[in-house]
Amino acid sequence: MYLDRIVETKREETAKLAEHFSIDKAIETISSMPATKGFAQRLTAGKKRDMGLIAEVKKASPSKGLIRPDFNPVEIALTYEEAGADCLSVLTDAPYFQGSGEYLKAVRKAVNLPLLRKDFVIDERQIYEARLLGADAVLLIAAILTPEQISSFMKTAASIGLDSLIEVHSVEEMKQVLDLELYDGALIGINNRNLHTFETSLAATEVLSKLVPAGVPVISESGISSTLDMEFLRKTGASGVLVGEYFMRQKDIAAAVHNLMGPLQKEGSVHLHG
Ligand SMILES: O=C(O)c1ccccc1NCC(=O)[C@H](O)[C@H](O)COP(=O)(O)O
């Protein structure tokens, strides 16, 4: 199974990381870093349209191979920012997504938006590393973590100012996550992609969002590519969407953001550079 392969690779990567990474030193460095930017807040009260947008900087994927050959993460991030994305997701996994921690660092320097480190977190060192790279949030995938790990990682993340996007794909995972004490800044991500078969269906959001109590923000992730999809997702009560491949395949990324998401409703809150 592909997800098992990815997790096996992460075990190797984190074992290597453990050889040199000091959590105490990381905490010391983080204590003098600027505060994080409130990832969850930007997707709820602070969103710029009726639906929040996490726009993904994604070069390749296990399901689709190379998606964007002319990949310039900083240019893409700046385009997303100018088009009014609320937050960005930057893939840092190298072997399967051709991402990099260096891309996250470079994007952090270039844009003001809150950033999600998109990777497969299985070890708390990756959470400290995310903060050092400039992330404002981490992804915690229920399919590869125990509820105890999710709880503990969410706590670690919160202790260093990071929000958590907790990703589920099944009723069982959703129930387990909802049984946890969710920290302020926790978002539920419903992945429309089955991470074992790679099939996507927005029915995942339709079905699973019904289980989420009012007040817990839901982000619908993956396989979103049309205004019809957005209409469908609005009716599920999702607060926002995470979109990668659709934008990455467009020549004019900014136009694609505007077409998919509709006009900006909070013009004043768009942070442009200059
Ligand atoms: O994208 C994949 O092929 C994939 C395969 C295995 C595990 C995770 C995978 N994707 C991670 C994601 O969650 C997506 O990059 C993200 O939700 C955006 O999805 P999309 O808009 O479909 O690119």
Q: Compute the distance from residue 120 Cα to the ligand 1 centre, in Å.
A: 11
Query: Which residue reads 């969850």 in tokens?
Result: 40
Examine the pLDDT at 267 and tell me if it is beyond 70.
Answer: no
For ligand 1, pick from 193, 220, 226, 260 the residue to mutate: most ligand atoms within 8 Å of CB.
193
pLDDT single digits (tens) 15-63: 999 999 999 999 999 999 999 999 999 999 999 999 999 999 999 999 9
Residue 136 pLDDT level (bands cut at 50, 70, 90): very high
pLDDT of residue 274: 33
Examine the pLDDT at 65 and tell me if it is beyond 70.
Answer: yes
pLDDT single digits (tens) 78-117: 999 999 999 999 999 999 999 999 999 999 999 999 999 9
Residue 239 pLDDT level (bands cut at 50, 70, 90): very high
Q: What is the pTM of this model?
A: 0.96
Q: What is the mean pLDDT of residues 208-231?
A: 97
Closest ligand 1 atom, residue 56 Cα: 18
Examine the pLDDT at 7 and tell me if it is beyond 60.
Answer: yes
Catalytic residue list: 56, 58, 118, 167, 191, 221-222
Examine the pLDDT at 231 and tell me if it is beyond 90.
Answer: yes
Q: Which range is least confidently modeled, 87-101, 146-160, 259-273?
A: 259-273
Examine the pLDDT at 271 and tell me if it is beyond 50.
Answer: no
218 closest CA partner among 232, 203, 194, 236:
236
How far is the CA of 236 from the CAs of 85, 156, 212, in angstroms? 21, 31, 11
pLDDT of residue 76: 98
